Amino acid sequence: MYPDTTVYIIGHARTQADNAITEHFKGFFIGVVVDYTTDEIVDISCSSTIPTTEKFIQSLFINKKLDKYYGEIDRQIEQRYFGTSQKALSTAYKDAVKRYAEIKEKYYK
């Protein structure tokens, strides 16, 4: 399904105790498929209880790059995503960027 030039990264964050995602998943996760030759996000999924949430998050991330932290992505989360896991999504994004940088350094210099 994905080309050999892609890798899969997980970004993790804690969520609020009164959040449905916390009750179901015990945290918030984003799973990101990245083409390491271009750093482009080709697919993303998340620990969501509503399918529309995942589709919306995909619209924020697909075709963006994961090579470094981009404030514009965080601004889009802040200005457009008003789910109770907004802060967790931002934190999971930052975690995914960090993990991706570690993987690139180790395997794909």
pLDDT in tens, 70-83: 999 999 999 999 98
Cβ 46 vs Cβ 54: under 8 Å: yes
In 10 A of CB 76, how many CB atoms?
15
pLDDT over 70 percentage in the chain: 88
Task: Give the pLDDT confidence score for residue 99 in this predicted structure.
Answer: 97
More confident residue, 49 or 86: 86
Mean pLDDT of the chain: 90
Q: What is the DSSP letter of 36?
A: T
Task: Give the pLDDT confidence score for residue 16 in this predicted structure.
Answer: 64
From residue 55, give the alpha-carbon distance in Å to each of 51, 66, 71.
6, 19, 21
Question: Which CATH code of 1.10.10.10, 3.90.1010.10, 3.30.70.20, 1.20.58.1610 fits the domain covering 6-107?
Answer: 3.90.1010.10
Q: Where are the domains of the chain?
A: 6-107
